[in-house]
Amino acid sequence: MSALDQPWLHELVTALSAPTAVLSESSGQIRALGAQGVLHADIRVLSAAVLTVGGAEPSAVSGGITGARTARFTAVARALGDDWTVDPTVQVDRERIVTPGEVSERIRLISFSDSPVQTVLALTVAADMAGLPQIKSAHPAAPVLLRPLASAGATLSWESESVRVTLTTVDASVSLSEAGTEAVLSWPVRLEGRGVHEVSWCLSVRDAAAAAAPASSPPWRVSALADDTRLPALLAQSLADADALKMTTPGTPSDVFLAGGAPWFFTLFGRDSLWAARLLLPFGWQLAAGTLRTLAGLQGTRHNPVTAEAPGKIPHELRRGGYVSYETIDATPLWICLMHDAWRSGMPDDQVAALLPSLRAALEFLRCDGDSDGDSLLEYVDASGGHGLSNHGWKDSGDAIRFADGTVAASPITLCEVQGYAHEAAVHGADLLDYFGVAGGDRWREWAARLAEAFRESFWVNGYPALALDREKRPVDSLTSNIGHLLGTGLLTPDEEALVADRLGEDDMNSGFGLRTMSARDGGYNPLSYHCGSVWSHDTAIVVRALFRAGHPKTAASLADGLLSAAAGFGGRLPELYSGDAGQWPTPYPAACRPQAWSAAAAGALVQGLLGLEIDVPAGTVAVRPPGVRIGGAGPRLHLDGLVARTETFSAGITEAGDPYVGGCGLRQVP
């Protein structure tokens, strides 16, 4: 099978509550096609659930999510009811609720006819217990046998290895196909004139070998009011999605992190989970603390070329059976950056201090295995013999690192944004060491200075930083969004940051719906590629946040406006990536995760940038510094409730006159 066979997701409706997700057609039907089904972690536990009324599928009218965990679908049974009118008189409503390890549906037949209606409602179900790699590669899976449980009424059960699934109904009869791989649940229905009849079914899953488990964590209590109504709508949906993506590991149930995204990355992902926690810090440090501790518990201790493990290295991915991949060059510096930012947001000193051994090990990785050739820059190479990821940065597809003429660069690869992450990690890691009385801070500041010097000598081309250095240390001269991640890391001077900001604001980078991953003028550009011209929600949000903080509000505001327009075009749920080149609306990337953790967290970056919010609990201060720009023609008014510093919830905002304010915060407000 080729990569072109990967199932598309853009027309599917996804309701989820980690580690369980349901992907269906917009009609609500779940068919044994593509990625549709009920997925629990990385196993598809139900592959079909097709509803019929009177032997025919009802005609779909509307359908979609009503929250992160719920969906509703409306159809009509056109062959039933009054035959003297062209208007349908029997409506079919299907309400879906997803909780961890459970999916339930209520199906309601509503008659608007004055005459009785008699029919049979039926649900045909099947399961293949396919694993995620099998689904993603479109390899067919054999259906499993379904067993009725005679002692439990209308109940079916099936299993595979460590996963056991039970489907329960009330007042239904169950009939199995001859092969035993398909079951029909039937409910006889008599509707009196203008009557209502309701049936239900529930699927529950037990998984003894799951790598991650559902999290028990209170939802964010955040609300927003703004002249630009797109922002509150995006924030509400994004936080609901992020809450539904919360997971933990069975061994550390109190440490919560966000799964990468549904359905392909429904587990712990190093950089994804780190960035998501970092962008959501305005709403509390607890998610960051859980993410830091979970990843520290998997931190590398030895060299393993198969998994890319190295001492001090933060992992890339956790999968079923406890398999851990370390194919990431950026998760380790990002872990350090998150630790510092969480500390500033109020993570208690004792919790931060407990992570100092992991901090020191992570810093040593930057200096040692991260810089394998000793040139003061971080690079990576796939040492797995071709079985692993070609690229170990966030643009990890095989063709992501291209020269301006479209030629793919050869590894080892030295990515530009990773140098920024590493510089920031070294300086802020040094600040943490100083604060807790641990020696070595000056050593890491000197290391950061050497890195900055090496970067300045090697990366600049045509007035902007190159995407990377290739095997021969030649600058990979394509213009990409990666350079926006350098802003605010301390690696660039203010003049250099201004050059980057100006370049990102030009039309070949700013698509109107967010920041292109690659310039439209480069040879490898393709707006519907994974990393060479598409727009990634988190990427744009990170750069917007950095542009605001670096003092470039005009470019930041333009990109933020594009991201909000894209969110509106996708119904308030930002996908993992998309094309911004259609003109009037954003175009889906068909295989993109939606929801996705760092895409949901993008709303946090927008809030922080638009408020100019800076929390510094160790210094005892909070600042709101509005950038003084308008977005989308709306006024400047913005009010946020549910911001968090330490354990205190407070509000902040910008008045109609553009003045900042903070309310209910125990920190000293500074200009």
Q: Are residues 50 and 141 in the same domain?
A: yes
Instruction: Say how far residue 222 (Cα) sits from the centre of its chain.
Output: 19
- Please identify, among 157, 175, 207, the residue that sits at the C-terminal boundary of a domain: 207
Q: Are residues 21 and 113 in the same domain?
A: yes
User: Strands (DSSP E) along 440-524, which ranges?
Assistant: 460-461, 464-465, 468-469, 475-476
| DSSP summary character for residue 48 | E
pLDDT band, residue 265 (cuts 50/70/90): very high
- 196, part of any domain: yes
Q: Are residues 178 and 260 in the same domain?
A: no
**What mean pLDDT value characterizes the chain?**
95
593, 260 contact by CB (below 8 A): yes
**Rounded to whole angstroms, how far apart are CA atoms 218 and 237?**
16
Those residues whose C-beta lies under 8 Å from the C-beta of residue 538, and which sit 6 or more positions away, are 275, 276, 279, 596, 598, 599, 601, 602
| Amino acid, single-letter form, for residue 463 | G
Which contiguous run of DSSP H or E holds residue 91? strand 90-99
| Amino acid, single-letter form, for residue 191 | L
For position 152, what pLDDT does the model report? 52
Q: Are residues 234 and 191 in the same domain?
A: no
Q: Are residues 157 and 251 in the same domain?
A: no
- 667, part of any domain: no
Structural domains counted in the chain: 2
Q: Are residues 135 and 245 in the same domain?
A: no
Helix, strand, or coil (residue 591): coil
For residue range 309-326, list pLDDT tens digits in order: 999 999 999 998 889 999
Residue 2's φ and ψ, nearest 5 degrees, are: -95, 170
Q: Are residues 224 and 134 in the same domain?
A: no
**Rounded to whole angstroms, how far apart are CA atoms 636 and 631?**
8
- Please identify, among 207, 240, 275, the residue that sits at the C-terminal boundary of a domain: 207
pLDDT band, residue 359 (cuts 50/70/90): very high
What CATH number is associated with residue 84? Answer: 2.70.98.40
Q: Are residues 198 and 291 in the same domain?
A: no
User: In terms of residue numbers, what domain contains 179?
Assistant: 3-207
pLDDT of 632 higher than 90: no
Tell me whether the omega of the peptide bond preceding residue 348 falls within 30 degrees of 0, making it cis.
no
**Rounded to whole angstroms, how far apart are CA atoms 71 and 353?**
43
For residue range 110-124, list pLDDT tens digits in order: 999 988 999 999 999
Q: Are residues 221 and 151 in the same domain?
A: no
Neighbours of 147 (CB within 10 A): 14
Q: Are residues 153 and 223 in the same domain?
A: no
**Rounded to whole angstroms, how far apart are CA atoms 514 and 560?**
7
Q: Are residues 262 and 288 in the same domain?
A: yes
Backbone CA torsion sign across 477, 480, 482, 484: positive
Concatenate the DSSP letters of all residues of 207-268 into one string.
ETT-SSEE---PPP--EEEESSTHHHHHHHHHHHHHHHTEEEETTEEEEEEE-SBTTTB-S-
For residue range 204-262, list pLDDT tens digits in order: 999 988 888 999 899 999 999 999 999 999 999 999 999 999 999 998 999 999 999 99
**Rounded to whole angstroms, how far apart are CA atoms 393 and 381?**
11
- Closest to 39 in 3D by CA, of 593, 456, 544, 653: 593
Q: Are residues 112 and 236 in the same domain?
A: no
- Please identify, among 165, 187, 207, the residue that sits at the C-terminal boundary of a domain: 207
For position 1, what pLDDT does the model report? 33
What CATH number is associated with residue 275? Answer: 1.50.10.10
For residue range 135-157, list pLDDT tens digits in order: 998 888 999 999 998 655 578 99
pLDDT of 556 higher than 90: yes
647, 283 contact by CB (below 8 A): no
Instruction: Say how far residue 93 (Cα) sits from the centre of its chain.
Output: 30
pTM of the model: 0.96
For position 582, what pLDDT does the model report? 72
| Amino acid, single-letter form, for residue 197 | H
Do strands 59-65 and 70-76 pair parallel, antiparallel, or not at all (unpaired)?
Answer: antiparallel
**Rounded to whole angstroms, how far apart are CA atoms 667 and 650?**
10
- 388, part of any domain: yes
Q: Which residues pair with 615 in a beta bridge?
A: 622
Structure tokens at 605: 């970056």
- 666, part of any domain: no
